[in-house]
Amino acid sequence: MKESISIAAPVSTVVGIVADLENTDRWANEAKGAEVKARGDDGRPTQIEVTLGAIGFTTAAVYDVAYTDSSVTLTCSGDGGRLIRESTISYEAAESGDGTELTMTSTMEVTVPVPEWGLERAMGRSARKNLASVKADAERA
């Protein structure tokens, strides 16, 4: 699943919002909370536990986090078998005119029986809401 949005703010502002993982529940529709489990030498989270609520389930999943100047990537190797088998979420920001084009790419394998089309539709809807929230925050900053 891949979704993009144009944001009237610089790349650094947009990436700063996405990288604020301790407050991810402000802009990530399915996140109900986040707790930092490990930090890098620069103080940024390198591992977080996110409480997620989606498709009628609630679970806590641990994500490893990688950063570049223009991206944030979260990789989950599962949640103990409760809902998520595997998930990768990547936010990539690129200069575009006077602003930023933010692209969210997401893959997820779940442990519960959900039709692929239903999972894709739910992920797309969630991504569009998340991107709209990041846009609103970035354009207010």
Q: Do the Cβ atoms of 104 and 131 come closer than 8 Å?
A: yes
Q: What was the pLDDT predicted at 45? A: 94
Locate 134 and state its tokens.
């990041």
User: Alpha helices, DSSP H only, in the chain?
Assistant: 11-18, 116-140
pLDDT tens, position by position, for the chain (141 residues)?
899 999 999 999 999 999 998 887 777 777 788 889 999 999 999 999 888 776 566 778 889 999 999 999 999 876 676 767 788 999 999 999 999 999 999 888 777 777 888 778 878 888 899 999 999 999 998
CB within 8 A of 43, min separation 6: which ones?
Answer: none
Inter-CA distances, 9 with 44, 72, 100, 132, Å = 22, 17, 6, 13
3-class DSSP state of 125? helix
Q: How far is Cα of residue 7 from the mean position of the Cα atoms in its chain?
A: 17
